[in-house]
Amino acid sequence: MSEVAATTHVFEVHQETFEADVLQASLTTPIVVDFWATWCGPCKALGPVLEKLAAEYNGAFRLGKVDVDQEQELAAMFGVKSIPTVVLVKDGQVLDGFAGARPEGQVREFLAPHVQPLPATDDAAAAETEPETPEQAINRLQQAIAETPANAELKLDLAVALQQAGRDDAAAAELAGLPVNLATDERAVRLRSKLELARAAQGAPDVAALQKRVETDASDWDAHDQLGVRLLAAGDAEAGLEQFLAILQHAPEWNDGQAKKRLLAAFASLDDAALVGRYRRRMASMLF
For residues 100 and 157, state if they share a domain: no
Q: 159 and 106 share a domain? A: no
> Which residues does the annotation mark as catalytic?
40, 43
The residue length of the chain stands at: 288
pLDDT in tens, 231-275: 999 999 999 999 999 999 999 999 999 999 999 999 999 988 899
Closest to 56 in 3D by CA, of 142, 117, 127: 117
How many other β-carbons are positioned within 10 Å of the β-carbon of residue 132?
Answer: 16
In a domain, 49, yes or no: yes
Q: Is 235 left (phi over 0), alpha (psi -120 to 50) or beta?
A: left
Average pLDDT (44-68) is 92
Residue 129's pLDDT is: 56
User: Among 30-34, 58-62, 65-69, 85-89, which stretch is predicted with the lowest mean pLDDT?
Assistant: 58-62
Q: Quote the pLDDT of residue 7.
A: 56
Last residue of some domain: 127, 150, 170? 127
Q: Residue 2: which pLDDT band, with cuts at 50, 70 and 90?
A: very low
Percent above pLDDT 90 for the chain = 69
The number of helices, as runs of H, and strands, as runs of E, in the chain is 15, 5
- Read off the pLDDT band of 120 (50, 70, 90): low
Helix (H) or strand (E) holding 260: helix 258-269
pLDDT at position 118 is 80
Q: Is the pLDDT of residue 124 over 80?
A: no
CATH of residue 82:
3.40.30.10
Inside any domain, residue 27: yes
Which residues form the domain of 21?
A: 10-127
Task: Say yes or no: 115 and 155 in one domain.
Answer: no
Claim to verify: residue 78 and residue 54 sit in the same structural domain: yes
Whichever domain contains 274, its CATH number is: 1.25.40
Judge whether 38 lies within some domain: yes
121 confidence band (pLDDT: 50, 70, 90)? low
Q: What is the mean pLDDT of the chain?
A: 89
Overall pTM surpassing 0.75 (yes/no) = no
Position 134 scores a pLDDT of: 86
196 lies in a domain? no
CA 30 to CA 27: how far, in whole Å?
Answer: 7
* Rounded Cα–Cα distance for residues 76 and 229 (Å): 52
Determine contact, residues 35/68, Cβ cutoff 8 Å. Answer: yes
**Contact by Cβ (8 Å): 237, 266:** yes
- Domain count for the chain: 3
Same domain, 123 and 31: yes
Tens digits of residue pLDDT in 129-141: 567 888 988 999 9
Q: Confirm whether 41 is domain-assigned.
A: yes
Helix axes 186-201, 221-233, angle to 10 degrees: 120
In a domain, 237, yes or no: yes
Residue 34 DSSP SS3: strand
195 in a domain, yes or no? no
Asked if 282 and 245 sit in the same domain, the reply is yes
Q: What is the pLDDT of residue 119?
A: 72
Residue 203: what pLDDT?
A: 84
Say if residue 217 is in the same domain as residue 258.
Answer: yes
Co-location of 179 and 218 in the same domain: no
**14 within a domain of the structure (yes/no):** yes
Q: Nearest Cα to 159, choosing from 188, 124, 133?
A: 188
The verdict on 20 and 113 lying in the same domain is yes
The pLDDT, as a whole number, for residue 127 is 45
Please identify, among 127, 155, 170, the residue that sits at the C-terminal boundary of a domain. 127
pLDDT in tens, 4-45: 444 578 999 999 989 999 999 999 999 999 999 999 989 999
- What is the Cβ-side half-sphere exposure of residue 269, based on CA atoms within 13 angstroms? 24
* Per-residue 3-state assignment (H helix, E strand, C coil) for 98-122: EECCCCHHHHHHHHCCCCCCCCCCH
Clarify whether residues 234 and 278 are in a common domain.
Answer: yes
Question: How far is it, in rounded angstroms, from Cα 14 to Cα 158?
Answer: 33
